[in-house]
Structure 1
Protein backbone atom coordinates (compact mmCIF):
# COMPACT_ATOMS: atom_id res chain seq x y z
CA UNK A 1 0.00 0.00 0.00
CA UNK A 2 3.02 2.29 0.39
CA UNK A 3 3.21 2.80 -3.38
CA UNK A 4 -0.50 3.68 -3.63
CA UNK A 5 -0.26 6.13 -0.72
CA UNK A 6 2.82 7.78 -2.23
CA UNK A 7 0.99 8.21 -5.53
CA UNK A 8 -2.08 9.72 -3.88
CA UNK A 9 0.00 12.17 -1.83
CA UNK A 10 1.92 13.12 -4.97
CA UNK A 11 -1.30 13.79 -6.88
CA UNK A 12 -2.74 15.83 -4.01
CA UNK A 13 0.42 17.87 -3.55
CA UNK A 14 0.66 18.74 -7.24
CA UNK A 15 -2.91 19.98 -7.57
CA UNK A 16 -3.62 23.70 -7.18
CA UNK A 17 -6.98 23.37 -5.39
CA UNK A 18 -5.70 21.90 -2.06
CA UNK A 19 -3.24 24.78 -1.76
CA UNK A 20 -5.17 27.87 -2.82
CA UNK A 21 -8.28 26.82 -0.91
CA UNK A 22 -6.28 27.32 2.29
CA UNK A 23 -6.80 31.04 1.69
CA UNK A 24 -10.53 30.40 2.25
CA UNK A 25 -9.71 28.92 5.67
CA UNK A 26 -7.63 31.95 6.66
CA UNK A 27 -10.26 34.41 5.40
CA UNK A 28 -12.93 32.51 7.35
CA UNK A 29 -10.84 32.74 10.53
CA UNK A 30 -10.34 36.48 9.99
CA UNK A 31 -14.10 36.90 9.49
CA UNK A 32 -14.83 35.03 12.73
CA UNK A 33 -12.31 37.19 14.58
CA UNK A 34 -13.96 40.37 13.30
CA UNK A 35 -17.49 39.05 13.91
CA UNK A 36 -16.97 37.84 17.48
CA UNK A 37 -14.79 40.73 18.54
CA UNK A 38 -12.21 41.11 21.26
CA UNK A 39 -14.59 40.01 24.05
CA UNK A 40 -14.25 36.39 22.93
CA UNK A 41 -10.47 36.23 22.61
CA UNK A 42 -10.10 33.10 24.73
CA UNK A 43 -12.87 31.20 22.96
CA UNK A 44 -11.51 32.18 19.54
CA UNK A 45 -8.05 30.92 20.46
CA UNK A 46 -9.40 27.67 21.94
CA UNK A 47 -11.43 26.93 18.80
CA UNK A 48 -8.80 28.21 16.35
CA UNK A 49 -11.22 30.95 15.34
CA UNK A 50 -14.08 28.48 14.87
CA UNK A 51 -12.25 26.92 11.93
CA UNK A 52 -13.98 23.53 12.32
CA UNK A 53 -16.77 23.99 9.75
CA UNK A 54 -14.44 25.68 7.26
CA UNK A 55 -12.02 22.74 7.47
CA UNK A 56 -14.85 20.24 7.02
CA UNK A 57 -16.11 22.10 3.97
CA UNK A 58 -12.61 22.16 2.47
CA UNK A 59 -12.30 18.42 3.10
CA UNK A 60 -15.59 17.87 1.28
CA UNK A 61 -14.50 19.91 -1.75
CA UNK A 62 -11.00 18.44 -2.00
CA UNK A 63 -11.80 14.94 -0.76
CA UNK A 64 -14.73 14.34 -3.07
CA UNK A 65 -12.59 15.09 -6.12
CA UNK A 66 -10.06 12.46 -5.05
CA UNK A 67 -12.71 9.79 -5.62
CA UNK A 68 -15.50 11.13 -7.81
CA UNK A 69 -13.42 12.95 -10.42
CA UNK A 70 -11.40 9.81 -11.07
CA UNK A 71 -14.65 7.90 -11.53
CA UNK A 72 -15.97 10.56 -13.91
CA UNK A 73 -12.74 10.86 -15.92
CA UNK A 74 -12.13 7.08 -15.86
CA UNK A 75 -8.60 7.70 -14.57
CA UNK A 76 -9.44 5.25 -11.79
CA UNK A 77 -8.85 2.50 -14.37
CA UNK A 78 -5.18 3.40 -14.59
CA UNK A 79 -4.91 3.57 -10.80
CA UNK A 80 -6.54 0.17 -10.40
CA UNK A 81 -4.34 -1.35 -13.12
CA UNK A 82 -1.16 -0.33 -11.30
CA UNK A 83 -2.40 -1.13 -7.77
CA UNK A 84 -1.94 -4.41 -5.95
CA UNK A 85 -5.62 -4.56 -4.98
CA UNK A 86 -8.73 -2.40 -4.53
CA UNK A 87 -8.32 -2.28 -0.76
CA UNK A 88 -4.91 -0.62 -1.07
CA UNK A 89 -6.32 2.05 -3.41
CA UNK A 90 -9.28 2.81 -1.14
CA UNK A 91 -7.20 2.94 2.04
CA UNK A 92 -4.54 5.11 0.36
CA UNK A 93 -7.17 7.65 -0.66
CA UNK A 94 -8.68 7.65 2.86
CA UNK A 95 -5.30 8.16 4.53
CA UNK A 96 -4.41 10.92 2.04
CA UNK A 97 -7.54 12.87 2.94
CA UNK A 98 -6.84 12.26 6.64
CA UNK A 99 -3.28 13.59 6.31
CA UNK A 100 -4.66 16.66 4.53
CA UNK A 101 -7.14 17.02 7.41
CA UNK A 102 -4.32 17.07 9.97
CA UNK A 103 -2.40 19.54 7.78
CA UNK A 104 -5.38 21.93 7.69
CA UNK A 105 -5.67 21.80 11.48
CA UNK A 106 -1.96 22.56 11.82
CA UNK A 107 -2.43 25.58 9.52
CA UNK A 108 -5.36 26.74 11.66
CA UNK A 109 -3.27 26.46 14.82
CA UNK A 110 -0.35 28.38 13.29
CA UNK A 111 -2.68 31.16 12.13
CA UNK A 112 -4.25 31.24 15.61
CA UNK A 113 -0.83 31.53 17.24
CA UNK A 114 -0.02 34.44 14.91
CA UNK A 115 -3.32 36.22 15.65
CA UNK A 116 -2.81 35.71 19.39
CA UNK A 117 0.66 37.21 19.13
CA UNK A 118 -0.06 40.19 16.89
CA UNK A 119 -3.01 42.31 18.21
CA UNK A 120 -4.83 42.67 14.90
CA UNK A 121 -8.16 40.93 15.50
CA UNK A 122 -8.21 40.19 19.22
CA UNK A 123 -6.45 41.18 22.40
CA UNK A 124 -3.59 38.70 22.88
CA UNK A 125 -4.16 36.31 25.77
CA UNK A 126 -1.37 34.60 27.70
CA UNK A 127 -1.10 30.94 26.70
CA UNK A 128 -0.77 29.96 30.36
CA UNK A 129 -4.15 31.53 31.22
CA UNK A 130 -6.48 28.99 32.83
CA UNK A 131 -9.66 28.55 30.79
CA UNK A 132 -11.90 25.54 30.14
CA UNK A 133 -11.54 22.33 32.19
CA UNK A 134 -9.05 24.10 34.46
CA UNK A 135 -6.45 23.81 31.73
CA UNK A 136 -4.18 26.41 30.14
CA UNK A 137 -5.39 28.12 26.97
CA UNK A 138 -2.66 26.41 24.96
CA UNK A 139 -3.78 22.95 26.15
CA UNK A 140 -7.39 23.97 25.39
CA UNK A 141 -6.41 24.76 21.80
CA UNK A 142 -4.47 21.50 21.37
CA UNK A 143 -7.28 19.43 22.91
CA UNK A 144 -10.02 21.10 20.85
CA UNK A 145 -7.96 20.55 17.70
CA UNK A 146 -7.55 16.88 18.57
CA UNK A 147 -11.28 16.48 19.19
CA UNK A 148 -12.07 18.23 15.91
CA UNK A 149 -9.73 15.94 13.99
CA UNK A 150 -11.87 13.05 15.26
CA UNK A 151 -15.08 14.84 14.21
CA UNK A 152 -13.73 15.74 10.78
CA UNK A 153 -12.56 12.15 10.27
CA UNK A 154 -16.23 11.19 10.51
CA UNK A 155 -16.84 13.58 7.62
CA UNK A 156 -13.97 11.94 5.71
CA UNK A 157 -15.63 8.54 6.11
CA UNK A 158 -18.87 10.03 4.76
CA UNK A 159 -16.98 11.56 1.83
CA UNK A 160 -15.50 8.16 0.96
CA UNK A 161 -18.88 6.44 1.31
CA UNK A 162 -20.89 8.94 -0.74
CA UNK A 163 -18.13 9.23 -3.36
CA UNK A 164 -18.29 5.47 -3.92
CA UNK A 165 -22.07 5.61 -4.14
CA UNK A 166 -22.26 8.68 -6.41
CA UNK A 167 -19.91 9.34 -9.33
CA UNK A 168 -20.69 13.06 -9.54
CA UNK A 169 -18.34 15.15 -7.39
CA UNK A 170 -20.84 18.05 -7.49
CA UNK A 171 -23.59 15.96 -5.91
CA UNK A 172 -21.17 14.52 -3.35
CA UNK A 173 -20.09 18.06 -2.37
CA UNK A 174 -23.69 19.28 -2.04
CA UNK A 175 -24.81 16.26 0.01
CA UNK A 176 -21.91 16.44 2.45
CA UNK A 177 -22.07 20.24 2.72
CA UNK A 178 -25.73 19.93 3.71
CA UNK A 179 -24.76 17.34 6.34
CA UNK A 180 -22.12 19.69 7.76
CA UNK A 181 -24.34 22.77 7.95
CA UNK A 182 -27.70 21.16 8.69
CA UNK A 183 -26.82 17.84 10.33
CA UNK A 184 -26.84 19.12 13.90
CA UNK A 185 -30.15 20.97 13.38
CA UNK A 186 -31.76 17.91 11.81
CA UNK A 187 -30.64 15.82 14.77
CA UNK A 188 -32.15 18.31 17.23
CA UNK A 189 -35.43 18.32 15.31
CA UNK A 190 -35.41 14.53 15.31
CA UNK A 191 -34.84 14.39 19.05
CA UNK A 192 -37.59 16.94 19.72
CA UNK A 193 -40.10 15.26 17.43
CA UNK A 194 -40.88 12.53 19.99
CA UNK A 195 -41.28 9.92 17.26
CA UNK A 196 -39.44 7.17 19.09
CA UNK A 197 -37.25 6.24 22.05
CA UNK A 198 -34.97 9.21 22.78
CA UNK A 199 -32.32 6.98 24.35
CA UNK A 200 -31.92 5.25 20.97
CA UNK A 201 -32.49 8.19 18.60
CA UNK A 202 -29.85 10.33 20.33
CA UNK A 203 -27.24 7.91 18.93
CA UNK A 204 -28.05 8.91 15.34
CA UNK A 205 -24.91 9.73 13.27
CA UNK A 206 -25.87 13.38 12.71
CA UNK A 207 -25.77 13.96 16.47
CA UNK A 208 -22.08 13.04 16.49
CA UNK A 209 -21.32 16.24 14.59
CA UNK A 210 -21.84 18.04 17.92
CA UNK A 211 -18.66 16.53 19.37
CA UNK A 212 -16.37 19.52 18.83
CA UNK A 213 -18.88 22.22 19.74
CA UNK A 214 -19.95 20.32 22.85
CA UNK A 215 -16.34 19.97 23.95
CA UNK A 216 -15.82 23.73 24.15
CA UNK A 217 -19.42 24.59 25.11
CA UNK A 218 -20.63 21.63 27.16
CA UNK A 219 -23.38 23.39 29.11
CA UNK A 220 -25.30 24.35 25.96
CA UNK A 221 -24.70 21.44 23.62
CA UNK A 222 -25.11 18.69 26.21
CA UNK A 223 -28.77 19.73 26.42
CA UNK A 224 -28.95 19.59 22.62
CA UNK A 225 -27.17 16.29 21.99
CA UNK A 226 -28.49 14.51 25.12
CA UNK A 227 -25.18 12.64 25.25
CA UNK A 228 -22.01 13.21 27.24
CA UNK A 229 -18.83 14.20 25.43
CA UNK A 230 -17.42 10.71 26.03
CA UNK A 231 -20.52 9.13 24.51
CA UNK A 232 -20.26 11.44 21.49
CA UNK A 233 -16.61 10.47 21.09
CA UNK A 234 -17.43 6.76 21.19
CA UNK A 235 -20.31 7.23 18.75
CA UNK A 236 -18.15 9.26 16.37
CA UNK A 237 -15.41 6.62 16.32
CA UNK A 238 -17.94 3.82 15.78
CA UNK A 239 -19.74 5.59 12.92
CA UNK A 240 -16.41 6.50 11.33
CA UNK A 241 -15.46 2.82 11.29
CA UNK A 242 -18.89 1.78 9.98
CA UNK A 243 -18.97 4.35 7.15
CA UNK A 244 -15.36 3.59 6.19
CA UNK A 245 -16.04 -0.13 5.96
CA UNK A 246 -19.27 0.41 4.02
CA UNK A 247 -17.42 2.68 1.61
CA UNK A 248 -14.77 0.03 1.07
CA UNK A 249 -17.35 -2.71 0.46
CA UNK A 250 -19.07 -0.55 -2.16
CA UNK A 251 -15.73 0.44 -3.72
CA UNK A 252 -14.69 -3.22 -3.94
CA UNK A 253 -17.88 -4.18 -5.74
CA UNK A 254 -17.90 -1.10 -7.99
CA UNK A 255 -17.36 -1.73 -11.69
CA UNK A 256 -15.02 0.67 -13.49
Structure 2
Protein backbone atom coordinates (compact mmCIF):
# COMPACT_ATOMS: atom_id res chain seq x y z
CA UNK A 1 0.00 0.00 0.00
CA UNK A 2 2.80 2.44 0.87
CA UNK A 3 4.39 1.91 -2.54
CA UNK A 4 1.07 2.53 -4.29
CA UNK A 5 0.49 5.69 -2.26
CA UNK A 6 3.95 6.93 -3.23
CA UNK A 7 3.28 6.13 -6.89
CA UNK A 8 -0.07 7.95 -6.86
CA UNK A 9 1.51 10.95 -5.13
CA UNK A 10 4.30 11.00 -7.72
CA UNK A 11 1.77 10.93 -10.59
CA UNK A 12 -0.12 13.85 -9.08
CA UNK A 13 2.96 15.92 -8.36
CA UNK A 14 4.42 15.21 -11.79
CA UNK A 15 1.46 16.87 -13.52
CA UNK A 16 2.04 20.53 -14.34
CA UNK A 17 -1.71 21.07 -13.97
CA UNK A 18 -1.43 20.32 -10.24
CA UNK A 19 0.68 23.45 -9.75
CA UNK A 20 -1.25 25.59 -12.23
CA UNK A 21 -4.49 24.69 -10.46
CA UNK A 22 -3.07 25.89 -7.14
CA UNK A 23 -1.98 29.18 -8.70
CA UNK A 24 -5.33 29.59 -10.47
CA UNK A 25 -7.39 28.94 -7.33
CA UNK A 26 -5.26 31.32 -5.26
CA UNK A 27 -5.67 33.94 -7.99
CA UNK A 28 -9.45 33.48 -8.06
CA UNK A 29 -9.68 33.86 -4.28
CA UNK A 30 -7.55 37.01 -4.22
CA UNK A 31 -9.38 38.34 -7.29
CA UNK A 32 -12.79 38.02 -5.67
CA UNK A 33 -11.42 39.53 -2.47
CA UNK A 34 -10.31 42.54 -4.52
CA UNK A 35 -13.72 42.72 -6.23
CA UNK A 36 -15.34 42.69 -2.79
CA UNK A 37 -13.39 45.82 -1.99
CA UNK A 38 -14.07 47.56 -5.30
CA UNK A 39 -17.74 46.56 -5.66
CA UNK A 40 -19.03 45.82 -2.14
CA UNK A 41 -22.70 45.91 -3.16
CA UNK A 42 -22.20 43.31 -5.89
CA UNK A 43 -19.70 41.18 -3.97
CA UNK A 44 -20.49 41.45 -0.22
CA UNK A 45 -17.18 40.80 1.52
CA UNK A 46 -18.54 39.04 4.59
CA UNK A 47 -20.75 36.66 2.60
CA UNK A 48 -18.06 35.84 0.04
CA UNK A 49 -15.47 35.21 2.74
CA UNK A 50 -17.59 32.44 4.30
CA UNK A 51 -17.18 30.50 1.04
CA UNK A 52 -13.46 31.35 0.79
CA UNK A 53 -14.39 33.94 -1.85
CA UNK A 54 -16.03 31.34 -4.07
CA UNK A 55 -13.18 28.83 -3.93
CA UNK A 56 -15.35 25.95 -2.69
CA UNK A 57 -17.24 25.84 -5.99
CA UNK A 58 -14.08 25.88 -8.09
CA UNK A 59 -12.55 23.13 -5.97
CA UNK A 60 -15.48 20.89 -6.94
CA UNK A 61 -14.61 21.19 -10.64
CA UNK A 62 -10.91 20.63 -10.00
CA UNK A 63 -11.57 17.54 -7.91
CA UNK A 64 -14.07 16.10 -10.40
CA UNK A 65 -11.39 16.28 -13.09
CA UNK A 66 -8.66 14.95 -10.79
CA UNK A 67 -10.67 11.97 -9.53
CA UNK A 68 -12.03 11.01 -12.94
CA UNK A 69 -8.66 11.14 -14.68
CA UNK A 70 -6.78 9.40 -11.87
CA UNK A 71 -8.80 6.26 -12.50
CA UNK A 72 -10.11 6.28 -16.07
CA UNK A 73 -6.74 7.25 -17.61
CA UNK A 74 -5.23 4.05 -16.17
CA UNK A 75 -7.63 2.11 -18.39
CA UNK A 76 -7.43 4.53 -21.30
CA UNK A 77 -3.65 4.15 -21.61
CA UNK A 78 -3.42 0.57 -20.36
CA UNK A 79 -1.24 1.41 -17.35
CA UNK A 80 -3.67 -0.40 -15.05
CA UNK A 81 -2.24 -3.68 -16.38
CA UNK A 82 1.26 -2.73 -15.25
CA UNK A 83 0.03 -1.94 -11.75
CA UNK A 84 -1.90 -5.21 -11.50
CA UNK A 85 1.13 -7.15 -12.78
CA UNK A 86 3.06 -5.71 -9.82
CA UNK A 87 0.91 -8.08 -7.73
CA UNK A 88 -1.24 -5.38 -6.18
CA UNK A 89 -4.89 -6.25 -5.69
CA UNK A 90 -7.52 -4.12 -7.38
CA UNK A 91 -8.93 -3.27 -3.97
CA UNK A 92 -5.59 -1.84 -2.83
CA UNK A 93 -5.17 0.10 -6.08
CA UNK A 94 -8.56 1.80 -5.79
CA UNK A 95 -8.22 2.56 -2.07
CA UNK A 96 -4.81 4.17 -2.69
CA UNK A 97 -6.43 6.47 -5.27
CA UNK A 98 -9.20 7.38 -2.82
CA UNK A 99 -6.67 8.26 -0.13
CA UNK A 100 -4.50 10.41 -2.40
CA UNK A 101 -7.55 12.29 -3.71
CA UNK A 102 -8.71 12.78 -0.11
CA UNK A 103 -5.34 14.31 0.78
CA UNK A 104 -5.42 16.43 -2.39
CA UNK A 105 -8.89 17.77 -1.59
CA UNK A 106 -7.80 18.61 1.96
CA UNK A 107 -4.77 20.43 0.54
CA UNK A 108 -6.96 22.49 -1.81
CA UNK A 109 -9.29 23.46 1.03
CA UNK A 110 -6.36 24.42 3.25
CA UNK A 111 -4.60 26.35 0.48
CA UNK A 112 -7.71 28.29 -0.56
CA UNK A 113 -8.53 28.92 3.10
CA UNK A 114 -5.13 30.51 3.65
CA UNK A 115 -5.58 32.52 0.44
CA UNK A 116 -8.98 33.71 1.71
CA UNK A 117 -7.46 34.91 4.98
CA UNK A 118 -4.73 36.67 3.02
CA UNK A 119 -7.34 38.25 0.74
CA UNK A 120 -9.25 39.52 3.75
CA UNK A 121 -6.14 41.04 5.29
CA UNK A 122 -5.04 42.67 2.04
CA UNK A 123 -8.31 43.97 0.64
CA UNK A 124 -11.31 43.83 3.01
CA UNK A 125 -9.88 43.77 6.50
CA UNK A 126 -11.77 46.95 7.40
CA UNK A 127 -15.09 45.64 6.04
CA UNK A 128 -15.73 43.07 8.76
CA UNK A 129 -14.16 41.26 11.68
CA UNK A 130 -13.93 37.50 12.08
CA UNK A 131 -15.75 37.91 15.38
CA UNK A 132 -18.74 39.68 13.80
CA UNK A 133 -22.06 37.85 13.57
CA UNK A 134 -22.12 35.80 10.37
CA UNK A 135 -24.45 35.99 7.37
CA UNK A 136 -27.85 34.22 7.63
CA UNK A 137 -27.14 33.30 11.25
CA UNK A 138 -27.60 34.82 14.69
CA UNK A 139 -25.54 32.38 16.72
CA UNK A 140 -22.24 32.07 14.85
CA UNK A 141 -19.39 34.47 14.24
CA UNK A 142 -18.00 34.92 10.73
CA UNK A 143 -15.07 32.66 11.63
CA UNK A 144 -17.35 29.94 12.98
CA UNK A 145 -19.61 30.17 9.94
CA UNK A 146 -16.59 29.97 7.65
CA UNK A 147 -15.41 26.75 9.29
CA UNK A 148 -18.95 25.34 9.28
CA UNK A 149 -19.40 26.13 5.60
CA UNK A 150 -16.02 24.64 4.73
CA UNK A 151 -16.86 21.44 6.58
CA UNK A 152 -20.34 21.05 5.07
CA UNK A 153 -19.05 21.81 1.58
CA UNK A 154 -16.33 19.21 2.04
CA UNK A 155 -18.96 16.58 2.89
CA UNK A 156 -20.97 17.52 -0.20
CA UNK A 157 -17.81 17.54 -2.30
CA UNK A 158 -17.09 13.93 -1.45
CA UNK A 159 -20.70 12.99 -2.07
CA UNK A 160 -20.16 14.25 -5.64
CA UNK A 161 -16.73 12.62 -5.92
CA UNK A 162 -18.12 9.24 -4.89
CA UNK A 163 -20.35 9.45 -7.97
CA UNK A 164 -17.39 10.55 -10.09
CA UNK A 165 -15.36 7.52 -8.99
CA UNK A 166 -18.36 5.34 -9.81
CA UNK A 167 -18.64 6.85 -13.30
CA UNK A 168 -14.89 6.50 -13.81
CA UNK A 169 -15.15 2.73 -13.30
CA UNK A 170 -17.85 2.54 -15.99
CA UNK A 171 -16.39 4.65 -18.80
CA UNK A 172 -13.30 3.95 -20.88
CA UNK A 173 -12.11 7.55 -21.33
CA UNK A 174 -11.33 10.24 -18.79
CA UNK A 175 -13.13 12.87 -20.88
CA UNK A 176 -16.42 11.01 -20.60
CA UNK A 177 -16.03 10.51 -16.86
CA UNK A 178 -15.23 14.20 -16.29
CA UNK A 179 -18.11 15.33 -18.50
CA UNK A 180 -20.66 13.10 -16.77
CA UNK A 181 -19.42 14.24 -13.35
CA UNK A 182 -19.76 17.94 -14.21
CA UNK A 183 -23.14 17.42 -15.90
CA UNK A 184 -24.40 15.63 -12.78
CA UNK A 185 -23.25 18.53 -10.60
CA UNK A 186 -25.04 21.08 -12.79
CA UNK A 187 -28.09 18.84 -13.21
CA UNK A 188 -28.69 19.08 -9.47
CA UNK A 189 -29.08 22.86 -9.70
CA UNK A 190 -31.42 22.49 -12.68
CA UNK A 191 -33.74 19.88 -11.18
CA UNK A 192 -33.71 21.12 -7.58
CA UNK A 193 -36.80 23.32 -7.97
CA UNK A 194 -38.80 20.48 -9.52
CA UNK A 195 -37.44 18.07 -6.91
CA UNK A 196 -38.67 20.26 -4.05
CA UNK A 197 -42.13 20.40 -5.62
CA UNK A 198 -42.21 16.61 -5.85
CA UNK A 199 -40.96 16.21 -2.27
CA UNK A 200 -43.80 18.47 -1.10
CA UNK A 201 -46.27 16.05 -2.74
CA UNK A 202 -44.49 12.76 -2.06
CA UNK A 203 -42.72 12.91 1.29
CA UNK A 204 -40.75 9.69 0.72
CA UNK A 205 -38.85 11.38 -2.13
CA UNK A 206 -36.91 13.38 0.48
CA UNK A 207 -34.61 10.34 0.76
CA UNK A 208 -33.48 10.52 -2.87
CA UNK A 209 -29.72 11.10 -3.35
CA UNK A 210 -30.09 14.49 -5.04
CA UNK A 211 -31.80 15.93 -1.96
CA UNK A 212 -28.73 15.21 0.16
CA UNK A 213 -26.63 17.46 -2.06
CA UNK A 214 -28.47 20.28 -0.26
CA UNK A 215 -26.54 19.65 2.95
CA UNK A 216 -24.07 22.50 2.53
CA UNK A 217 -26.79 24.87 1.32
CA UNK A 218 -29.01 24.09 4.30
CA UNK A 219 -26.18 24.54 6.79
CA UNK A 220 -25.69 28.02 5.33
CA UNK A 221 -29.42 28.80 5.17
CA UNK A 222 -31.51 27.05 7.84
CA UNK A 223 -34.80 27.98 6.13
CA UNK A 224 -34.05 25.41 3.42
CA UNK A 225 -35.21 22.60 5.72
CA UNK A 226 -38.75 23.55 4.74
CA UNK A 227 -37.84 22.41 1.22
CA UNK A 228 -35.67 19.37 1.95
CA UNK A 229 -37.97 18.11 4.75
CA UNK A 230 -34.85 16.87 6.54
CA UNK A 231 -32.79 18.17 9.46
CA UNK A 232 -29.11 19.07 9.19
CA UNK A 233 -28.18 15.88 11.04
CA UNK A 234 -30.29 13.73 8.71
CA UNK A 235 -28.67 15.36 5.68
CA UNK A 236 -25.20 14.80 7.14
CA UNK A 237 -25.77 11.14 7.97
CA UNK A 238 -27.52 10.57 4.64
CA UNK A 239 -24.73 12.27 2.69
CA UNK A 240 -22.06 10.15 4.36
CA UNK A 241 -24.15 7.01 3.83
CA UNK A 242 -24.71 7.69 0.13
CA UNK A 243 -21.01 8.53 -0.27
CA UNK A 244 -20.06 5.17 1.24
CA UNK A 245 -22.68 3.42 -0.91
CA UNK A 246 -21.49 4.94 -4.20
CA UNK A 247 -17.84 4.29 -3.35
CA UNK A 248 -18.80 0.72 -2.52
CA UNK A 249 -20.64 0.22 -5.82
CA UNK A 250 -17.69 1.71 -7.70
CA UNK A 251 -15.42 -0.63 -5.74
CA UNK A 252 -17.42 -3.67 -6.94
CA UNK A 253 -17.44 -2.49 -10.56
CA UNK A 254 -13.70 -1.81 -10.46
CA UNK A 255 -12.95 -5.31 -9.18
CA UNK A 256 -14.95 -6.89 -12.02
CA UNK A 257 -13.93 -4.60 -14.86
CA UNK A 258 -11.93 -6.08 -17.73
CA UNK A 259 -8.45 -4.66 -18.28
Q: TM-score, normalised by structure 2?
A: 0.89
Q: Which residue of 2 aligns with 1:18?
A: 18
| Structure 1 stretch displaced more, 140-149 or 233-242 | 140-149
1:114-144, Cα deviation, whole Å (9 max, x unpaired) = 1110126x75421222323522222221221
Shift of 1:16: 1.2
Measure, in 2, the Cα distance between the counterparts of 1:133 and 1:73: 53
Shift of 1:230: 1.6
The answer to whether 1:98 aligns with 2:102 is yes
Counterpart of 1:127 (choices 127, 130, 140) is 130
Give unpaired runs (5+ residues) of structure 2. Answer: none
Q: Which residue of 2 aligns with 1:52?
A: 56
Measure, in 1, the Cα distance between the counterparts of 2:117 and 2:36: 19
Shift of 1:49: 1.4
Native 8 Å contact 1:63 1:97 kept in 2: yes
The answer to whether 1:222 aligns with 2:225 is yes
Shift of 1:32: 4.7
Shift of 1:177: 0.6
Shift of 1:242: 0.3
Counterpart of 2:211 (choices 207, 210, 219) is 207
Q: CA RMSD in A?
A: 2.2
Measure, in 2, the Cα distance between the counterparts of 1:43 and 1:21: 24
Q: What SS is found at the alignment partner of 1:134? A: coil
Q: Which residue of 1 aligns with 2:2?
A: 2
Give unpaired runs (5+ residues) of structure 1. Answer: none
| Structure 1 stretch displaced more, 167-176 or 132-141 | 132-141
Q: Which residue of 1 aligns with 2:150?
A: 145
1:123-177, Cα deviation, whole Å (9 max, x unpaired) = 5421222323522222221221111111111122111100001111111111111
Q: TM-score, normalised by structure 1?
A: 0.90
Measure, in 2, the Cα distance between the counterparts of 1:17 and 1:203: 38
The answer to whether 1:236 aligns with 2:236 is no
1:15-71, Cα deviation, whole Å (9 max, x unpaired) = 112221234433443565537942522211111113222111111112111011111
